[in-house]
Every structure is written in structure tokens, then in C-alpha cells.
Amino acid sequence: MPVTYPICLPLKPSTNQLVFKKQSAVSTSVAPSSFKAQSYVWPGQGWMVDATWPPGVRSRMEPLVAALSSLNGGEGSVLLRDNSNVSSQNTSLAANINRLVVNGASQTGYDLNIKNAIALQALFKAGDWIQLGGKNLLAKTQVFNDALWIKNTLTVTDNSAAAPTGTFDGTTAALCAPSGTDSYLYQYFQPPGRWGHTFSFWGKKNVSGQLGLLVRVSNNFGTTLAQSVVVLNNTSWQRFSLPFFPQDGTLCVAQIGGGSTWPTGQNCLLWGAQVDPVPYLQEYRPAVATAYSKQYELYKVINDVYSDNSGNATVTLWPKLRTSPLDGEAVTWNSALGRFALVSGDDWSIDSTDVYGMQSTFVEDQRP
């Protein structure tokens, strides 16, 4: 299977140190006689990351060696995050999960206008990470009655109830009514690689009681890659996630229901299906994210951010916006990722006890 970039590195071994470096194309000249200084500022800005992994034996380190080798030096790209700070410093920001999006197209510079927050709330803190861009591998994520969702003894009625995020964005949930003893629906998708992916969706029971519902991801040959039984209730929306690892280059199937877990009368509401091509659960992106203008751009929040009485806010970032984001583009702060290219360190050392050592340097990949 050919390598598709960007890749994700194996979850294990995890780095034991990441050094983030800000690079700015700024120079200063000082007059030798008066010591008066003048600065020259050019547009270039970017991240550099030095990564160090703890020593390990062959079985632990070779998957990392293989992943870095697949980058072919600086040809490929890899997704990296700050492993020690994977969410906001503001724990109450969780109330705005899956709500925050870009407010208006054609934005440039250091300020990003966002919308749809809960009014008059503290949002980001200075020093938080955010990500713009990303991808949802599913082609249909809210319209479950579409033909791309293949159904067995299941009647789906879209636009049947408010979405778990409310009604602010005009999206609504689908009502799924089973009419057999083994109802389910599924959608095909193409994983870009063999690293970890995450399937997720929102669910709620539409009748009294609870329902244990099978969730499964399999490959095109019917081999189960991961499965779990999740419990839906009728009192609140819940977001369920299932991590999995594709095994080959074939299509995969994301399935909800089956295994005789979804019988007649157990109606449910579904919304926001997503397959992240990363081993982390991130904010929901509708299917239009396939047309988004960015690929995993990583930014640092410079100021504390608060929403106004309309749920709007302005976030000051470093670096400047790479390209103008689209109106409605998702703003991600859970496991915010950036796209990087390898500068050095796809080699490794092996000592006399067969213990490996590895260090690598990456630079932000600003290629289209």
C-alpha cells in the first residue's frame, strides 16, 4: 500500500520530551557608533519541534523507525501534537464542545473571529493550542437517510430533532426506527494509512429505557477491526467513539447497530458521525470539511478569550493565519495537531544491549 501523507506516528513509544520552537523572519541591526537598533520584519513564521524518545528494545522501537522511514526524508509529512497539553487550560470550555467555528471568510493576520459559543463565557486561555483544518473521512455525517448510509430493516427520517449542540447552526438529528430483529446502517470510507483512526457519533434513545447498541468498524473483507457495545439513554445525548487500526489499503466500513442489538421499537436519534484519520477524538467536523482550506494548522492562543452576548469572540493567534479559513470551519482544541516535515533524525542508534535511541527534528510543513 503506497504511503499517504500526512501520517501519524505510533502511539507507543511516546516522546519523553518535545521542544517547540517559534521561528520568525525578523532581524535587527545595531549601529556601531550609536547603538541605535532597527528591526526588519518579514512574513515568514513557523514551528520547529525537537522530539526525543525514551530508549527502548527492538519490538518497541521498530514501528517508530518504520514510520519515520516512510517519510522519505523531507518528502512526506507527519501530524504532531503537544502530548502534555492536549486540551484547554479552561475546563469549562468543554461546554462549547463541537460548537466553535470560524465567523466569516477572508480573515487574515493574527486575529481569528469565531462564533456559536455560549454567550458571556470564558473560552480559551492564553497559551492554549488550537487547530484549523482536518478531515472527516465519512462523506455523509448528518444526513443518515442518504444512500451512502446502507441500511438493513431501518427507516431513517432526517431533520427529526434538535442536534446535541442545539439549533444554533441549523443542523438537526435523524430518527432511526428499526423494523426487524437485527437493524443496522453503515457507510464505506477509505483510510489513508495503517495508523490509528477514530470512529465517533452522537446518539440518544427516542423512547424510554436504555439500549446497548453494537458499534463496529471492519474492512472490506468483513474482518472486524474493532467493536464495542455502547449504551444509549433517553435523557441526554452522548458522544461515542471507537478507536481502530486499518490493516490494509482496502475500504473500511463504519457500522452502527447489528449483532441483534437493535430490535423493533427501539427508536434512536443519531447525529454527527465522524471518522478521524488520527488516533485521537477531536471536535466534530461536518462532511464539508473535505473542502476546507487547511490541513492541520497549529496555532498558539496569545490572549484570554471571552464570548460576547451574541456568542462571538476574537482569538489572537501565533503564527498569523496561513490562509483565510472558510466561514463555518471547525475550531479544534482537543488534541490539536500540526502538519510537520522531517528535517533530521530518521536514523537511530543501537547500543551493546540492543537498546535503541532516537531523536528527530521537524519543521512546520507549509506546502499546499
The pLDDT, as a whole number, for residue 290 is 46
For residue 238, tell me if it sits in a domain: yes
**Which residue, 171, 344, 188, is CA-closest to 271?**
171
What does the alpha-carbon distance between residue 271 and residue 258 come to, in Å, rounded to a whole number?
A: 18
**Does 232 share its domain with 314?**
no
Structural domain count of the chain: 3
pLDDT value of residue 170: 52
Residue 42 is predicted with a pLDDT of 87
Residues 63 and 20 in one domain: yes
Q: Are residues 109 and 167 in the same domain?
A: no
Which CATH number does the domain housing residue 111 bear? 2.40.30.290
279 Cβ contact list (under 8 Å, min separation 6): 8, 11, 195, 196, 197, 198, 243
Q: Are 170 and 253 in the same domain?
A: yes
302 domain-assigned = yes
Does some domain include residue 86? Answer: no
Looking at the fold, whether 201 and 104 belong to one and the same domain comes out as no
CB 278 within 8 A of CB 10: no
* CATH assignment at residue 225: 2.60.120.260
Q: Which residues contact 166 (CB under 8 A, 6 or more apart)?
A: none
**Looking at the domain assignment, is residue 75 inside a domain?**
yes
Residue 144 in domain:
no
Of 246, 265, 284, the residue at which a domain comes to its end is 265
H-helix segments, 201-348:
none
Same domain flag for 184 and 260: yes
| 248 and 186, same domain (yes or no) | yes
Are 193 and 259 found together in one domain?
yes
Tens of pLDDT, residue by residue, the chain (368 residues): 678 889 999 988 889 889 999 998 888 888 888 888 888 888 889 999 999 999 999 989 999 999 999 999 999 999 999 999 999 999 889 888 888 989 998 899 999 999 999 999 999 999 999 999 888 899 998 889 999 999 999 999 998 888 887 654 556 788 999 998 889 999 999 998 888 999 999 999 988 889 999 999 999 888 999 999 999 998 889 999 999 999 877 899 999 999 888 999 999 999 999 999 999 999 888 765 444 546 899 999 999 999 999 999 999 999 999 888 888 888 999 999 999 999 987 778 888 888 888 899 999 998 87
Alpha-carbon span 365 to 340, nearest angstrom = 5
Sheet harboring 150-152: ordered strands across?
Answer: 150-152, 184-189, 252-257, 210-219, 224-233
Domain of residue 241: give its range. Answer: 150-265
Residue located via cell numbers 513557523: 46
Judgement on whether residues 168 and 202 belong to the same structural domain of the protein: yes
Q: Are residues 171 and 237 in the same domain?
A: yes
Say how far apart CA 288 and CA 26 lie, in whole Å. Answer: 37
Residues 251 and 169 in one domain: yes
Is residue 344, in this structure, part of any structural domain at all?
A: yes
Do 255 and 195 sit in the same domain of this protein? yes
- Secondary structure (3-state) at 273: strand
- Please tell me the distance from the alpha carbon of residue 199 to that of residue 187, in angstroms, as a whole number: 11
Contact yes or no for 146/316 (Cβ under 8 A): no
Whether residue 157 is contained in a domain is answered as yes
CATH number at residue 57: 3.30.200.190
Query: Does this model's pTM top 0.85?
Result: yes
- Whether 284 is in a domain gets the answer no
Instruction: Collapse the DSSP code of 149 into the 3-class scheme (helix H, G, I; strand E, B; otherwise coil) and give the result.
Output: coil
Alpha carbon distance 348, 52 (integer Å): 11
